[in-house]
Amino acid sequence: MLGISADELAKATNLGIATIRRAESHAGVPTLTTANLTAIQSALEAAGIDFIFEDGSGAGIRLRRNDGQERTGDAAGNI
């Protein structure tokens, strides 16, 4: 969605590449510390990702539009 590598995300979060890869390989909420999860979420939000928390219709993410509004895509995440 963003086109960034695990190495780039590791640098943006000041976390190790092994931590990023562990988060990527885990289905659901990764088994990381709260601090590491927060660092990853903050870096992704700064890069333009909006997190959608469970509100009865499912949790997910979406890419923020350049004009500050949300972008939507199809079920496969294509915009």
CA R_g for the chain: 13
What single string gives the DSSP state of each residue in the chain?
Answer: -----HHHHHHHHT--HHHHHHHHH-SSS-S--HHHHHHHHHHHHHTTEEEE--SSS--EEEEBPTTSSBP---TT---
pLDDT at 65: 76
pLDDT surpassing 90 at residue 62: no
Q: pTM value?
A: 0.71
* Tally of CA atoms within 13 A in the half-sphere of 63 that contains its CB: 12
pLDDT surpassing 70 at residue 69: no
Residue 67: pLDDT band by 50, 70, 90 thresholds? low
d(CA 70, CA 73): 10
